[in-house]
Structure 1
Amino acid sequence: MRLISRRRLRFFLYVLIGFIMVTIITRGIVQFQLNKEIKYYKRFFKENKDSLEQMFNPLEIKQIPEEVIDSLYSETLSRASKTNKGINWDKFAYVNYVTDASYLCNTLIMFNKLKTEFQTKAKLVLLVTKDLIEDNATNKEKNILMLASIKNVDSEQVRIKYVDNIVKPKDYTPWNESLTKLRVFNETDFDRIIYMDNDAALTANLDELFFLPQYIKFAAPMTYWFISQNDLKEAYHELQHDDRITLNLNNYNKQTISRIKKGKMIYNHLPSLPSSLYLNSKNVAQEIISSTSSASPLFDFHTSKKASKIKFASNIMVIKPSKETFDKILYELLPRALTKKEMYDMDLINEELYNLKKIVYYQFSLFRKLKSEFIPEVMVLPFGRYGLLTGSLRNKNHYSMISNDILGYKRMDNDGNELLGLDKSVADAKYIHFSDYPIGKPWHYVSIKEFECVPDAETAEDLDQETKACNIWNSFYDTFIQARSICN
């Protein structure tokens, strides 16, 4: 009896080893063939991008520089003026959401600036949770008055929508209601929305973002604060090695803007996000196979569980709302997120909805089936203009990065010198997020004197730089503290 059991055990062991060997060999063959195919298409798009009008490169995630965004906007306005069709601004909206009454004041500041100072014609939408005005709400009357003030910015342009809060059960962190933000994906009354966290300073309107290429469903800046100087060096090296290209961003901008004026497709000419910042290996084929095999432990033994160095920030997003996307969030992704520890809005967006690694896999899979029918859906925004953190104004390691916010590329002058300068970079910033841990949000303080930046450096050169950084940092917070008088 024992002898039979041993024979059976040995038989099953041989079968298992055989299965694993076949899996390894099969994977190797598939990876070899896939690598050949990827190399072919990389060369194809590099050599033919000037003549391609209906075929998008599926092997890259594209970044769009601010100069190109401005050119698209300018061309759209010019076309609308020439054809006398105008722009239907009712189909565009800026959106905030509020679950905590202390954030209402900054929504009022933002909406008032957008309307009176920046003169946007887009709708201004606030999603506010119903519990702020219910009978048992703390400061109910004050909340109602603040909401009335927000509505009075412009009774036609401003819309206030009451929504149900999404709260993580048994979660007592400050982010336990952050999943409510995902309701912005359901704003299907609009063709495109610009979602903004309202703990930020807005220095100009962002209307140009409404006119990103129409096929883009989601665009956001990268979480640049996770990147080290070594990561950037690797990204520069990767682009130079793979494409033998200049890293001067101006060269891309000139060519792309020229194509915009001629009404040509620009996607393949945009700078690519360096894959070393979001893939675990240099082998794209291996990453794609790993993405397809994640459900099988036996077939996924080469897959690294290492997280990407960067991901999409969720404090500002350009979204093309759709019922299909929101249904996926509501019925498929949210139930998992609510039961998973430490999964909040940005985690769900990056792990489930717009995972950088999976985007390349899905793009290439669709392309292999559809070729010219494949259309990309995501794009990376420049974080210097749209996703800057106030904390970076005091971080020397971020200064050169702020100037070069298209990752892997550099802004250079005509002599090939890198264009740097904290003051100019910040002057170009339109949306700056209040983020200076352990300093709290500015509405928790009476005066900037309670937390102002004071330069502290040993050398005269460092002192000069720190003084400039502190002055810029203080001015942003001081501007908010003065602006909040409107909330009284």
Structure 2
Amino acid sequence: MANLYSTKALGRAWPPSTPTASPRTSSRGRFIPWDLNPPRQRPAAVEESWFQDLRLLRGRLTERLVLVLVLVFCAAFLIRNHEHLISPGTRAWVGTLHLSRLGGSLLPPWSRVHWSDYAYVSYATTPDYLCNSVMLAESLHRLGAKPDTLILYSSDLTTSSSPHPASARLIYQATALYGARTEPVSVLSASSSSSSSSTADTTWSASFTKLLAFNQTRYKRVLSLDSDATLLQPLDELFLLPPTAPVALPRAYWLNNTLCTSVLLASPSEADFARVRARVEKAAPQEVDTDVINALYGDGCLVVPHRPYLLLSGEMRAAGHEAYLGGGGGEWDAVKVLAEAKYVHFSDWPMPKPWMASSEGLRRELMPGCKGLGEGGCGDRDVWVGLYAEFRERRKRVCGPEFIMYEEEEKQLDNLPPLAQAMSGGQPIE
């Protein structure tokens, strides 16, 4: 063995005259310092710092695991906090680009939205409006809306000396069947309205309760909706509008220079709620929630387009539709307008609300005539009648027979025009 070199550390031996084609390595991937042939010179590039960093990947198992964990942590941090790391203007631009290319949604394809930070909010101060709020919760649940649903109801509905027998059932139904959150509140009213005695005045003064949406600070944004309406499509994309103002809402397109609070997007905060409450306390006797919001935010809000987010039922009876169609003009077709609309608010004076009984003579007097396009030229009439009939059918199905006030009108549903029959035939409007 005199002609052999040996090493006890590795237990290997080889003749000194045997050339080695490449540096020998151990099982751990390290160069053996006693190799007879010197290693080949590496190019200068591989000696740079980035190459030395890459050698970590060839290191020990512990080093690899630490590197993987660091990468996973960084990826999770970026995914969770991308909304804060990317400017609102960039998010809005990307969302608008996605909308223009694919059509339909303002949601960026890479965005992961925490929908529990947002909520649809409605309020109820009477049993009839509690039924309406539960109907709205049913529609949001059926249509697959992603944010929470919150119903603010007057505590008197369940704690008064003679509560409505169905109030407790409706509150439980909203939670158990439709996943809504319910919260008893005190009615918010102006000090000057406390002496009002008429039912109409009481109903209008109670509308200030809607402004409790500004106090729901558990949410980043809330979308307050009037419940005397029919929701045709979810409004989830409104929650992702650029946060450039504390309030976003549409204009009352049938009026001049007035904002409409039927659809009100707010960013709740203690400061804004204190400001709103102070303005409510000094409201004039004839002022309502719309007056308060216009006074506080009329010059500094984000304006939501009324198409497709706000359509009045009375628009079907209007003589002209230039205000709704906008400056671009276009041809009025009630059937197509209903198909694009997402939210229809029942505002149709002197026609009463759809859950209230009305005389046959008044209905016939106010019913739109056969004009315009769609369904043989009677699209306005068919859509108008169908909206009322569908609301009544859904109210009976959701709230129960205790809330039916128009039994004599039920008998006339068989004589509805074809479109109205389809809308009221037990199937919700899709």
Say whether the fold is shared (TM-score over 0.5): yes
Give the one of 210, 213, 223 matched to 1:184.
213
Please tell me whether residue 163 in structure 1 is matched to residue 195 in structure 2.
no
Q: Which residue among 250, 264, 280 is the counterpart of 1:317?
A: 264
Mapped partners of 2:275, 2:348: distance in 1: 34
What's the counterpart of residue 335 of structure 1? 281
How far residue 483 of structure 1 moved from its aligned partner, in angstroms, is 0.8
Report if the CA contact (8 A) 1:448-1:478 is conserved: no
- 1:94 Cα deviation from its structure 2 partner: 0.4
> Which residue does the alignment assign to 2:382?
471
Aligned to 1:401: 323
Among 288, 307, 320, the alignment partner of 1:344 is: 288
Q: Counterpart in 2 of 1:223?
A: 252
Find the aligned partners of 1:177 and 1:449 in 2 and give their Cα distance: 31
* Kept after mapping to 1: 8 A contact 2:372/2:379: no
- Asked if structure 1 preserves the Cα contact closer than 8 Å seen for 2:96 and 2:106, the reply is no
**Structure 1 residues 325 and 161 mapped into 2: Cα distance closer, same or farther (>3 Å)?**
same
CA contact (8 A) 1:403 1:422 kept: no
Q: Does the aligned pair in 1 maintain the 2:308–2:343 contact within 8 Å?
A: yes
Which residues in structure 2 correspond to 1:350-361 (within 5 Å)?
350-351=294-295, 353-356=296-299, 359=300
> Which residue does the alignment assign to 1:150?
174
Q: Write 1 or 2 for the structure with the bigger share of helix.
A: 1
Aligned to 2:228: 199
Deviation at 1:348, TM superposition (A): 0.9
Distance change >3 Å, CA 212–CA 134, structure 1 → 2: same
CA contact (8 A) 2:116 2:148 kept: yes
Residue 486 in structure 1 maps to residue 404 in structure 2:
no
Task: Establish whether residue 108 from structure 1 lines up as the match of residue 134 from structure 2.
Answer: yes
Specify which of 395, 403, 421 is matched with residue 333 of structure 2.
Answer: 421
For 1:323, give the aligned amino acid. Answer: E
Distance (whole Å) between structure 1 residues aligned to residue 220 and residue 316 of structure 2:
34
1:136 to 157, 161, 166: 161
Partners in 2 of 1:477 and 1:487 — Cα distance? 16
* 1:67 positional shift: 8.1
Partner of 1:443: 355
Structure 1 residue 455: deviation in Å? 4.6
Larger RCO of the pair (alpha carbons < 8 Å, separation 6+) = 1
Deviations 1:36-81 (A, max 9, x none): xxxxxxxxxxxxxxxxxx999xxxxxxx9x988955984534012x
Taking structure 1 as reference, are residues 447 and 209 closer, same or farther at Cα in structure 2, changes over 3 Å only? farther
Q: Secondary structure at the match of 1:78?
A: coil
What is residue 238 of structure 2 aligned with on the other side? 209
2:116 aligned to which of 79, 90, 106:
90
Q: How much does 1:102 deviate? A: 0.6
SS in 2 for 1:94: strand
Cα 1:316/1:107, change in 2 over 3 Å: same
CA 1:77–1:486: 2 relative to 1, 3 Å: same
Q: Which residue of 1 aligns with 2:313?
A: 390
Q: Check 1:199–1:461 CA distance in 2 against 1; reply closer, same or farther (3 A cut).
A: closer
For residue 184 of structure 2, give the secondary structure of its aligned residue in structure 1.
Answer: strand
**Contact 2:123–2:130 at 8 Å: present in 1 too?**
no
- Indicate if the aligned counterparts of 1:73 and 1:211 stay in contact, CA closer than 8 A: no
- 1:410 aligned to which of 323, 328, 332: 328
Match of 1:121 among 146, 149, 152: 146
Return the alpha-carbon distance in structure 1 between the equivalents of residues 248 and 97 of structure 2: 14
Distance 2:116 2:258 in 1: 31
Distance 2:389 2:376 in 1: 20
**What letter corresponds to residue 470 of structure 1 in structure 2?**
R
CA gap 1:102/1:394 in 2 versus in 1, 3 angstroms = same
Shift in CA distance, 74/432, structure 1 to aligned 2, threshold 3 Å: closer
Contact 2:325 2:332 in 1 (8 A): yes
Whichever residue aligns with residue 289 of structure 2, its letter is D
SS of 2:146's equivalent? coil
* Offset from partner CA, 1:84-128 (integer Å, 9 cap, x none): xx3211101000001111112222221112112x11121000011
Amino acid in the other structure paired with 1:335: E
Contact preservation (8 Å) 1:95, 1:127: yes
Distance 2:251 2:98 in 1: 16
The superposition leaves residues 321-346 of structure 1 with CA deviations (integer Å, 9 ceiling, x where unpaired) of 1111001122x312211xx2211111
User: 1:137 and 1:310, CA in 2 relative to 1: closer, same or farther beyond 3 A?
Assistant: farther
Which segments of 5 or more consecutive residues in structure 2 lack a partner in the other structure?
A: 1-86, 401-430
